[in-house]
Structure formats: C-alpha cells, structure tokens
Structure 1
Amino acid sequence: MIAPLMKGLVLGLILSISVGPVIFAIIKQSLANGHKAGYTFVAGVSASDISLVLVCNVFTSFFTTALSHSNAIAIAGSIFLIGVGIYTFFFKKVIVDEDNKIEIKKFRKRDLAGIFLSGYFMNMLNPAVFLFWFAWTAAITGDAASTPNPNQYKWIVFITCLVFVLLSDIAKVALAGKLRERLTPTILHRINKLSGLILIGFGIALIWGVLNFGDQLK
C-alpha cells in the first residue's frame, strides 16, 4: 500500500512542477479573472488528465491510434496556444471599475464552460502530456504485474497522482488570488502581455519540435 502511494506522490510532484503552458495559464487565468475562473480552468485540466489516464488504461487501442498521430496533435496544440497567446497579447483588456480598480467579473455559465474547455484542450493537445502518461502507464503496469493485486496497485498510483496534481493546482489558484488583491490595472495589463508572449513562445517551440524531431514522437 505504501509503495503505490509514494510512487503516485512522486509522479504528481513531477507533473505539478513541470514548466509548461498550463502552469502559466492557470496563474494568468487566476490573476486576470479571479479565483472562480482559475478553479474552473483547473477543473478542465484535471478532467483532461483523468481522460488520458482512462484512455491509457482502458482504451489502449484508441491511445495507440492517437499516439500515431502525435505530430498532428502537436501542430493542433501549437496553433491553439499561439491563437490564445495572440488574443491575450493583443486583445485581452483589463476591465476596471469607477475607482480605477480591477473589476471582479461576473461569469455566465457559458463563460465558465469556455474556460473549462480551454483548460481541457490546452492540456489534452500537449504532446508532452500524452507521452508522460503513455510512458508512466507502461512503467507502472510493469511494476504492478509483480504485485498480488496489479489493478489495485495501478489505480492507487494514478488516483494519488491525480489528486496531488489537482490540489497543487488549487493551491496555485489560491496563491494567485492573494496576489490579485494587490495588482493594479497597469501591472495586470503587463502580465497579460507577458502571458501572451509565453504562450506564443510555447506554441512556436512546439511546432519547431515537430518539424525537427517529429519522427521521435511516433
């Protein structure tokens, strides 16, 4: 029981501190739109991870097919990141109230659905996330084969990992929420510009990786 818990915690730590577009998007979403939007975005990311774990373990043939199209997924993901980055850099506005303070936006259900889906697909379309779950699923399945209850071992690892990542993402939103109270519209505007550049940079790097190392993803 201790071994799969420890392995799940280690995997969760690796995934939660990995530098990628998602971690910046979580912080930006929380700073720009508040904790409600941040938690909704995190829910989308978590749902994406759960989907990938299920696909890796239950629908292996589907995952193998998806992995064979990893270049197309990477290109789609990079275009998505670049598009979000361009919107954030050029068109994202900071809404202020009558006192020139950052206004707390009221979200409609469809707004929250859009934020949820953006988190879901930003994570899902990242080929690094695909490869992470594929590699570790294979490794964990091999470890589980030598235990009395292989399925129990696997699911303890994955559930521990997913819960750890979710809690760490929630902590990021909470921390960003505290910082948001001290932000001025000017600083938030600059953060939006920086976030846009970061997302565009990740998108370009992803395309460059596909063009130069695409065969290694297959």
Structure 2
Amino acid sequence: MSLLDYKDAFLVGLFMSFMIGPVFFMLLKTSVLKGFRAALAFDVGVILGDIVFISIAYYGSRNLLEKIKDDPRLFFIGGLVLIVYGLITYLDKNNKKELDQSEVEVAKGNNYFKLFLNGFFLNFINIGVLAGWLGIMVVVGPSLNMNPTSIFWYFTLVIIGYFATDIIKILLAKQLRNKLTPLVIYRIKRGMGVLLIAFGALMMLKGFVPKEKIDELINKVEIKR
C-alpha cells in the first residue's frame, strides 16, 4: 500500500465517525452524563459492531468482486451503492431530532459491560451502517486487488481513524452537545449526503471513461498548475 492509501483509509474512518445518527448522539450523551470511561466502553461496542459489518461486507462480496475486479462495470456498481446511501442520508428527516430527544436511553449506573453491549447492538441494528461499509468495500477491494493482507490493513487504519475521532468527540462532548442544534445537525448530514452522491457519481463516471483518458486529464490539470 502507498502512503496515499494510508491517508485515504484514515480519512474514511474520520468521515464514518461523523455520520450523524443514533450512535453519534448516544456517544455524546454517554460522555456528558456518565464520563469518559463509560463513553469509551460504549464506543468499543460500536467499533466491534463495525468490525462485524466489515467482515460481512468482505466475505459476503468477495466471490463477486474476485470475478469482476477488472470489469469497469464494478465502478458503476460501487458508485450506485454510494449514491443510494448518499440519497438516504440526504433525505433522512430524523436529522432534526435534538440530542436530548435521543430515542435510546443510557442505562443508569456505570455498568461498563452493559454500555459496551448497548453500543454494539445500537450500531448493529442500523442496516444503513452495513450499506455504508459494503459501498466502501466494493470501491476499495478491487483497487487493492482483493489482497486479504492489504484489505486487512486498510480497514484497520479506517477503524483507527474512526476510533481516534470518537475519542476527540468524547473529550469535546459538552462543547459539541451545545453546538449541535437541530439546524446544524440537519445541514451537516445533508452535506455528507451530497459528498457521498458526488463521490458515487465520480465512481460511476470512472466506469464509463477509459483509465487512460482519466490519467491524461489529471496530467493536463497538473501541468496547468
């Protein structure tokens, strides 16, 4: 893997960490009400749920991706998945719910194992998270030639980026909690939806345009700079 691959993996983790949803709110709420250790236990459960989803995405799509990894239509499929996920994110009307109105309550008392289970199951029941990891796997897997070692380290770095960002969120929970008004939440999530749609569209375009043409265009842009 190149250094660029490492950077991209870390940024993917950062992006996934800021997807606004029940887990995002519960992590902040747990930190504010129960402290750092409780929020950390909750987040470790969330991370385990993500690891399970990544494994499902990998083993569930491996045979298909092995067969079509050199087929340009793969970019069309991956782009379509990201566009659909982006549209769901953009059109979700639950974005305006305030943090204090979160649908899932944190258990009373600092039962760390229970908080861990809460994090795992709250993340695991969200099928949208699986769709997101599947879209990333469809895009990333073939670019790494479906090499198990490369894929393992790529997603390890994704998880590290995800977890590191969550730690920052936990430490800044009170400040974030005060600034996350319904309007701000709504705008952030719609912005993320637009980014996913744009990235998906670029992936689909890559499936139709020959790689040589894309490289030629990139070279022209760099020369002009």
TM bracket (short chain): 0.5 to 0.7
Using the alignment, how far apart are the partners of 1:60 and 1:103 within structure 2? 38
Instruction: Return the TM-score normalized by structure 1.
Output: 0.59
The alpha carbon displacement at 1:78 in A equals 1.5
| 2:97 paired residue among 79, 93, 99 | 93
> Could you tell me whether the CA contact under 8 Å between 1:16 and 1:169 is conserved in 2?
yes
Percent identity of paired positions between Structure 1 and Structure 2: 8
Using the alignment, how far apart are the partners of 1:207 and 1:10 within structure 2? 20
- Residue 182 in structure 1 maps to residue 175 in structure 2: yes
Instruction: Return the TM-score normalized by structure 2.
Output: 0.58
Using the alignment, how far apart are the partners of 1:92 and 1:50 within structure 2? 32
Which residue of structure 1 aligns with residue 139 of structure 2? Answer: 131
Give a deviation string over 1:67-101, Cα, whole Å, max 9, x none.
6454244324312222123225x55411428xxxx
> Could you tell me whether the CA contact under 8 Å between 1:48 and 1:120 is conserved in 2?
yes
Which residue of structure 2 aligns with residue 105 of structure 1? Answer: 105
> Could you tell me whether the CA contact under 8 Å between 2:82 and 2:132 is conserved in 1?
yes
> 1:38-57 counterparts in 2 under 5 A?
39=44, 41-51=46-56, 54=59
> Could you tell me whether the CA contact under 8 Å between 2:79 and 2:203 is conserved in 1?
yes
> Could you tell me whether the CA contact under 8 Å between 2:18 and 2:24 is conserved in 1?
no
> Could you tell me whether the CA contact under 8 Å between 2:89 and 2:189 is conserved in 1?
yes
The alpha carbon displacement at 1:178 in A equals 1.6
Which residue of structure 2 aligns with residue 17 of structure 1? Answer: 11
Going from structure 1 to structure 2, the CA distance change for 1:185 and 1:46 (only over 3 Å counts) comes to same
Using the alignment, how far apart are the partners of 1:216 and 1:52 within structure 2? 27
The alpha carbon displacement at 1:122 in A equals 1.0
> Could you tell me whether the CA contact under 8 Å between 1:52 and 1:133 is conserved in 2?
no
> Could you tell me whether the CA contact under 8 Å between 2:97 and 2:182 is conserved in 1?
yes
Using the alignment, how far apart are the partners of 1:132 and 1:96 within structure 2? 37
Which residue of structure 1 aligns with residue 219 of structure 2? Answer: none
Deviates more, 1:180-189 or 1:28-37: 28-37
> Could you tell me whether the CA contact under 8 Å between 2:95 and 2:186 is conserved in 1?
no
Corresponding letter in the other structure for 1:205: A
| 1:119 paired residue among 91, 109, 129 | 129
State the number of aligned residues: 186
Using the alignment, how far apart are the partners of 1:29 and 1:200 within structure 2? 17
SS in 2 for 1:105: coil
Using the alignment, how far apart are the partners of 1:136 and 1:18 within structure 2? 16
Which residue of structure 1 aligns with residue 79 of structure 2? Answer: 74
- Residue 64 in structure 1 maps to residue 67 in structure 2: yes
Long gaps (5+) in structure 1: 1-6, 142-153
Going from structure 1 to structure 2, the CA distance change for 1:37 and 1:86 (only over 3 Å counts) comes to farther
Going from structure 1 to structure 2, the CA distance change for 1:39 and 1:28 (only over 3 Å counts) comes to farther
Going from structure 1 to structure 2, the CA distance change for 1:87 and 1:190 (only over 3 Å counts) comes to same
